[in-house]
Homo-oligomer: A and B are copies of this chain.
Amino acid sequence: MPVRRLVIDVLIPHNLSILHLAEKMAEIEGVDGANVHVLEVDERTKTVEVTIEGGSLSFDAIKEVTEELGGSVHSVDMVSAGSKLIEHEAAEQEV
């Protein structure tokens, strides 16, 4: 079943514009939209959270584009797959 939403943490060089990153992410086949959000700015790098939605996402293509731009995928935090887009239930908080 296709992957429909991905939330990933990406480390990018300080001089890479997140505008460019978002545009490139949105150009990947199967991607409907991408949101890039800056989480932390360090001297040489920025940590950004990227949310991507689409009909069928290829993580390999997303990873490739990230690396072509000089970034690296730090972690994959959330994945939704299937014919229906499921929101995650925060059952953990109360247990």
Which residues of A are in contact with B by a Cβ distance under 8 Å?
Answer: 1-7, 9, 17-19, 21-23, 25-27, 31-41, 49, 51-53, 59, 75-95
State the number of copies, please: 7
Q: Chain B nearest CB: distance from A18 CB in Å? A: 5
- Could you give 17 example pairs across A and B, Cβ below 8 Å? A4-B33, A17-B59, A22-B82, A26-B82, A31-B82, A32-B82, A33-B80, A35-B79, A35-B86, A37-B88, A38-B77, A38-B95, A49-B91, A51-B88, A51-B89, A77-B92, A93-B94
CA distance A7 to B25 in the complex (A): 18
Q: Does B78 lie within 8 Å of A36, measured CB to CB?
A: yes
- Contact partner of A19 (CB less than 8 A), chosen from B18, B34, B59, B86, is B59
